[in-house]
């Protein structure tokens, strides 16, 4: 069985790592390059960087950060935010990123998934999905969770897979930052619906939440931010605990 992955997520704004609750009330959490190095040393399996207020004008800033991160890391990392074209993705991959993550741009232009998969391969294309319950239906949201769409989450995820997504990064906005646990019910539905890896995001607050999501759903990885950034959970301790519950992980050296 493949090892389950633990992935710290660094939401980057103006060159700094930030973290909020339910996508708002952002607080500074440190320098992203320094945090990336620390997580690699601790035994993180991958990293995700999301430029949460990305614009084309700031793409150059992100490329410089990607180069700085790539010089220090020996684990894969994904970069997302503001990627709307083959050229955007090519620039970031050329700077050293291993995968790119697309969200709003993919919903607005679904063929972008197909185009990226054809040029770079499906393994490079992560489709991030921000979902929130609206009148008892999980609906896709865009622009950092600020814009409600008419797309039902499960329907969109299935379409993304068919277009060439290599992985789904699913964030529950209702659970994000609450530290009350992952949305295991929805994640289980998604894992049974598609055949590509799923990364769980939103709600991690203690080690038991990671144990629960890996034990009750088919997710391949679990992503978290604040619990790692502020030292509430350390990756070595987390992996030791998961190992005790017979969840396959790459143990820290």
Q: Which of 51, 130, 183, 220 is catalytic?
A: 130
Phi, psi of 146 (to 5 degrees): -90, -15
Query: In DSSP terms, which residues pair with 78 in a beta bridge?
Result: 48, 99
What angle, rounded to 10 degrees, do the helices at 111-120 and 86-95 form? 40
HSE-CB of 59 using CA atoms within 13 angstroms: 15
Spatial CB neighbours of 87, under 8 Å, sequence gap ≥ 6: none
Given the structure tokens 């620039």, which residue do they identify? Answer: 91
> 130 an active-site residue?
yes
- Tokens found for residue 121: 């391969």
> 11 an active-site residue?
yes
Q: Which of 11, 45, 176, 220 is catalytic?
A: 11
* Three-state secondary-structure class, residue 110: coil
State the catalytic residues: 11, 130
């Amino acid at each position: 069985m493949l090892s389950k992955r633990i992935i710290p997520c660094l939401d980057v704004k103006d060159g700094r790592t930030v973290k909020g609750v339910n996508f708002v009330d952002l607080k500074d959490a440190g320098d992203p390059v320094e945090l990336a190095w620390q997580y690699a040393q601790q035994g993180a399996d991958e990293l995700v960087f999301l430029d949460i207020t990305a614009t084309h004008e700031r793409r150059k800033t992100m490329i410089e950060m990607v180069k700085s991160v790539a010089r220090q890391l020996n684990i894969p990392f994904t970069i997302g935010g503001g990627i709307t074209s083959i050229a955007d993705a090519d620039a970031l991959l050329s700077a050293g990123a291993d995968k790119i993550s697309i969200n709003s741009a993919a919903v607005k232009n679904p063929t972008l998934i197909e185009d990226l998969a054809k040029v770079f391969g499906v393994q490079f294309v992560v489709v991030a999905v921000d979902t929130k319950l609206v009148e008892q239906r999980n609906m896709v949201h865009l622009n950092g969770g600020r814009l409600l769409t008419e797309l039902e989450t499960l329907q969109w995820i299935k379409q993304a897979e068919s277009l060439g997504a290599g992985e789904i990064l699913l964030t529950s906005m209702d659970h994000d930052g609450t530290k009350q646990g992952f949305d295991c019910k929805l994640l289980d539905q998604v894992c049974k619906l598609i055949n590509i890896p799923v990364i769980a995001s939103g709600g991690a607050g203690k080690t038991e939440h990671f144990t629960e999501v890996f034990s009750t759903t088919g997710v391949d990885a679990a992503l978290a931010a604040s619990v790692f950034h502020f030292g509430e959970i350390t990756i070595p301790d987390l992996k030791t605990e998961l190992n005790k519950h017979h969840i396959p992980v790459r143990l820290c050296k």
